[in-house]
Structure 1
């Protein structure tokens, strides 16, 4: 899809998606970030799932955690991304769905991991340091980190774990953090030298530097027509205040129908996404002309034309 021109003047093409925000036309610099189309990744850390981890979800499979075959099946259908967090950033992804878990019987009392079905091999603090380093090298790219779910947090240690993680986030990102409040623009972030937004879905946290949970629209189906229909219904309700996510991700059934997919010997979730994503992107392009789009999150966020398609919505909507 060609980049459009406005008032007869050719706009500058995005030539590097690793720095696409800084390459947007000047009139995009002063609009709220919630009015920009931003590529995001769903279950961003699932490329790193640990085959030796206990099964975290679904609950009915936890009892099979000691069976290697069961863990392999869970990993095959829980892995939604194939590239590292740094490569996702380099590709242009700017929103990250980060689901946090505590591993059972971990001797380190505050160590946390990411999860989707299984826990990751790499701990949370190590990954966040990589993100912070990348943000330092790309000060004009605004990152949105959404922390949620918090599996395995016992009531006796829940407050301690949240306090530890929040303090680590604030110390690590420091002056890069954009405090919650009025929705910022690219220009306001650049002027203040801040480029990291942290959304933290924990009701007890009232920290002024952490944003509330970001609204996420799910299609909640493996059927493309159903996903598109449900998302369209939500988007037609009107633009909510603040950030919101249109989730293109497919969702496995939470009942016996899941076996229809997981028992396929020569298939996996990533292959399903590769077959479906081009059609979902066609829907996004059409839908963006009818309703507002903000964050568009997907499985396999580095695959094909996902990032270019979403980024170019910022150009096409200008005319």
Structure 2
């Protein structure tokens, strides 16, 4: 049985007592294309059917990037995947401090098996988090303390910042700390960024909500949100609205979403019996002409080139 908790601030934290899956420990690496100045991307499976978000990226010049990483239970699997890719994370990107996004990161740095050269995150004021999302305050303190204690380069990103991830691959921050958006506060201050190369672009939204999405669209050049791939905000439900996805004009959708959430099953019950918004968002994607939905709960860990 999977127990589901939907907090007052619409961030998700699911816990499962299921037996650990097998077959996920080895990263299935396809042959890399014969190219340069580009990247391969893996969307990680939702281990134990938990809602979580984790991506791995390898640039053609061998730089390894982790985006969030998933929940606590993902840590040993993620460590194994990173070891397969050489054992060093050149850049670890963290969208926001909720456990289903940073749990694996906290475990990995505690275990000290993986070398991390650089962390990239959005700095949220402690007093602001305490005032607007007190339930996250203790975790936020743990997270900021963990980052500050690391012996690596640490970069706090702001809207408009850019960063090289590897030869020909760039990170561009489209949105960061939304001080004025205090409902669903931490989700709405997710780092929103594009990873772009000469051949493709991926827009990562973290757990951005409706208010954060509307604020972003009102304040940035519309061309900056356009991308070939879009990571579905807040696991594909209670995220940004249809107008935001329309503005992105993506061809492909990345869903960090377990099967039961994709199918909107309430407490393991029947198909589309829950109160989640996944089906509504799925309809949007059909209407907007998405060519393919990559769903972690259906596809497992997949390599996208």
TM over 0.5: no
Q: Which has the higher helix share?
A: 1
More strand as a share of residues: 2
Pick 1 or 2: higher relative contact order, CA cutoff 8 A, min separation 6.
Answer: 1
TM-score (norm 2): 0.34
Relative to the length of structure 1, the TM-score reads: 0.33
